[in-house]
């Protein structure tokens, strides 16, 4: 029997500021009684349709827990409710005086004429792993992380690719990774911990579609269609799979980094992943079973293909 994750009512938390980046403006809230310099959390509401609700809250919560198990530095996420609106809160990875700069702002330094992801140019020219590695040259790992001492930022970034492939997150565009800049200019920039994992685990499928894929044994086909379309590719053949991109990143990072991440993945028993999903309150049965199956299949694919 596993304990259930709490849903935190943040209705009365004071608003600290508005976050203009991302799909829609969101609110930074201050956690009450969290000290003189209060902890800030980004409240992200789920998307609702006339047919029902998407599951960005549980997908982002599960992803942060899976990231933690994998040892990937990522934002702490909690399920939340704001004046009755369902959502999640994501703990600030860039507390003062750190400043966050997204990949979109860094890539032009290494790719002349870089076209940002928001321009939605086909084939995402420039947003390749080799250019990201260049952009992260000299950059240290995230501030609070329990990683091997020889790791550079890119060694950690490939951990994000492994996590993305495990959770079926196709959304690692150039505003969904970042660096942190310390106030002291003599200190190196650091990779920012991973954030925005809401587009994962089939969060936007309808239950009827999940049920059908489960019934007809089509989940494997679904995960194999998970492509790294946010990264540079040509069509044909089109983008590689998320697992293929993780494999490429692990190869680029070298044997020590590859061995480290694959050992971490191997060390996560499928039952532990099942427990994480079981701990979310209020998920429908098809959403739960589908998410568990995605994690099980992707873990297997990664261990076989990387
Ligand atoms: N935990 C966090 N700590 C610091 N900044 C964050 C965090 N989560 C998100 N952000 C910032 O807010 C922006 C929007 O949030 P994101 O989670 O990416 O939402 P969206 O789904 O709208 O893209 C991100 O691009 C990033 O700059
Ligand atoms: Mg985002």
The answer on 222 and 144 residing in a single domain is yes
Residue 1 has pLDDT above 60, yes or no: no
DSSP category for residue 142: P
Does residue 60 fall inside a structural domain? Answer: yes
Which CATH number fits the domain that encloses residue 29? 3.30.200
131 with 249, same domain: the answer is: yes
pLDDT tens for residues 138-174? 999 999 778 999 999 999 999 999 999 999 999 999 9
Which residue, of 91, 124, 147, is where some domain finishes? 91
The answer to whether residue 179 scores a pLDDT higher than 90 is yes
pTM of this prediction exceeds 0.95: yes
Residues with CB under 6 A from ligand 1: 19, 21-24, 42, 44, 75, 90-94, 100, 102, 175-176, 195-196, 198
Cross-strand partners of 9: 81
Does residue 1 fall inside a structural domain?
A: no
Burial 133-162 (b: 16+ CB within 10 A, else e): bebbeebbbbbebebeeebbbbbbbbbbbb
Note down the domain range covering 290: 99-305
H or E element, residue 222: helix 219-224
CA torsion angle 164 165 170 173 (round to 10): 50
The domain total for the chain is 2
CATH classification of the domain holding 154: 1.10.1070.20
Mean pLDDT of 49-73: 97
Which pLDDT band, with edges at 50, 70 and 90, does 2 fall under?
low
Q: Mean pLDDT of all residues in the chain?
A: 96
104 and 86 both lie in a single domain: no
Tell the residue nearest (CA) to atom 14 of ligand 1. Answer: 22
| Pair 19, 157 in one domain | no
CA distance 280 to 140: 34
> Residue 292: its pLDDT value, please?
98
Whether residue 106 sits in one domain with residue 127: yes
Atom of ligand 1 at shortest range from CA of 19: 12
Q: Which ligand lies nearest the alpha carbon of 172?
A: 2
Cβ within 8 Å of residue 277, ≥6 positions away: 62, 283, 288, 291, 292, 295
Q: How far is the CA of 197 from the centre of ligand 2 (A)?
A: 8
Question: Are 103 and 84 within one domain?
Answer: no
Nearest listed ligand to the Cα of residue 56: 1
Radius of gyration of the chain (CA): 19
Q: How far is the CA of 195 from the centre of ligand 2 (A)?
A: 8
Q: Which of 63, 179, 195, 198 to mutate to test the pocket of ligand 1 (most atoms within 8 A of CB)?
A: 195
Task: Verify that 69 and 212 share a domain, yes or no.
Answer: no
DSSP 122-134: TT-TT--HHHHHH
239 DSSP assignment: P
Q: Are strands 77-82 and 52-53 parallel, antiparallel or unpaired?
A: unpaired
Mark whether 192 and 43 lie in a shared domain. Answer: no
Question: What is the percent of the chain where pLDDT is above 90?
Answer: 96
Of 91, 123, 138, which residue sits at a domain end? 91
**Residue indicated by tokens 């492939």:** 165
Report which protein residue has its CA nearest ligand 1's atom 12.
21
Longest CA pairwise span in the chain (Å): 58
Q: Compute, in angstroms, the gap from residue 191 CA to the centroid of ligand 2.
A: 16
CA-nearest of 130, 296, 87 to 288 is: 296
User: Among 76, 95, 99, 81, which Cα is nearest to 38's?
Assistant: 95
Over 70: is that where the pLDDT of 96 sits? yes
CA distance linking residue 152 with residue 190, whole number of Å? 9
Residues 232-265 have pLDDT tens digits of: 999 999 999 999 999 999 999 999 999 999 999 9
pLDDT > 70 fraction of the chain, expressed in percent and rounded: 99
Closest CA to 73 of 160, 148, 5, 150: 160
Residue 142 in domain: yes
Structure confidence at residue 24 (pLDDT) = 79
Nearest ligand 1 atom, CA 75: 1
Separation of CA 89 and ligand 2 centre (Å):
14
Strand-pairing partners, residue 44, are 88
| CA–CA dist 229, 8 (Å, integer) | 34
The 3-state DSSP class for residue 240 equals: coil
Residue tagged 């009827």 (tokens): 208
Both 104 and 85 in a single domain?
Answer: no
pLDDT given at position 22: 83
Q: Are residues 60 and 148 in the same domain?
A: no
Average pLDDT over residues 27-56: 96
Pocket test for ligand 1, best of 60, 172, 196 (most atoms within 8 A of CB): 196
- How many Å apart are CA 240 and CA 244, to the nearest integer? 6
Structural domain contains residue 2: no
In a domain, 268, yes or no: yes
Given 61, 91, 121, the domain boundary residue is: 91
Judge if 79 and 122 occupy the same domain. Answer: no
Q: Is residue 83 located within the same domain as residue 138?
A: no
Q: Are 177 and 160 in contact (CB under 8 A)?
A: yes
Residue at 126 is within a domain: yes
Return the residue whose CA atom lies nearest to atom 2 of ligand 1.
92
Q: What is the pLDDT of residue 45?
A: 97
For residues 238 and 261, is the Cβ–Cβ distance under 8 A? no
Residue 108: how many other CB atoms lie within 10 Å: 14
């Amino acid at each position: 029997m596993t304990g259930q994750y709490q849903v935190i009512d943040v209705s009365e938390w004071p608003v600290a500021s508005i976050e203009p980046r991302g799909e829609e403006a969101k609110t930074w809230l201050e956690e009450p009684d969290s000290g003189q310099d209060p902890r800030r959390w980004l409240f992200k509401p789920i998307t609702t349709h006339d047919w029902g609700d998407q599951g960005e809250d549980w997908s982002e919560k599960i992803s942060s827990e899976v990231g933690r198990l994998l040892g990937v530095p990522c934002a702490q996420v909690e399920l939340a409710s704001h004046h009755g609106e369902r959502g999640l809160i994501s703990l600030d990875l860039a507390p003062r005086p750190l400043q966050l700069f997204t990949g979109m702002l860094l890539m032009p330094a290494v790719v002349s004429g870089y076209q940002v992801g928001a321009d939605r140019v086909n084939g995402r020219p420039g947003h390749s792993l080799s250019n990201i590695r260049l952009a992260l040259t000299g950059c240290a790992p995230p501030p609070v992380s329990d990683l091997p001492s020889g790791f550079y930022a890119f060694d950690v970034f490939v951990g994000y690719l492994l996590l993305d492939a495990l959770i079926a997150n196709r959304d690692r565009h150039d505003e969904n990774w970042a660096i942190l800049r310390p106030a002291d200019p003599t200190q190196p920039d650091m990779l920012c911990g991973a954030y925005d994992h809401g587009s994962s685990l089939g969060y936007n499928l309808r239950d009827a579609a999940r049920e059908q894929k489960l019934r007809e044994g089509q989940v494997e086909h679904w995960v194999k269609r998970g492509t790294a379309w946010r990264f540079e590719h040509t069509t044909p053949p089109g983008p590689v799979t998320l697992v293929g991109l993780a494999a490429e990143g692990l190869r680029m990072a070298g044997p020590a980094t590859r061995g480290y991440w694959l050992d971490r993945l191997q060390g996560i028993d499928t039952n532990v992943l099942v427990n994480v999903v079981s701990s979310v309150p209020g998920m429908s049965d098809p959403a739960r079973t589908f998410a568990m199956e995605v994690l099980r299949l992707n873990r297997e694919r990664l261990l076989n293909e990387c």
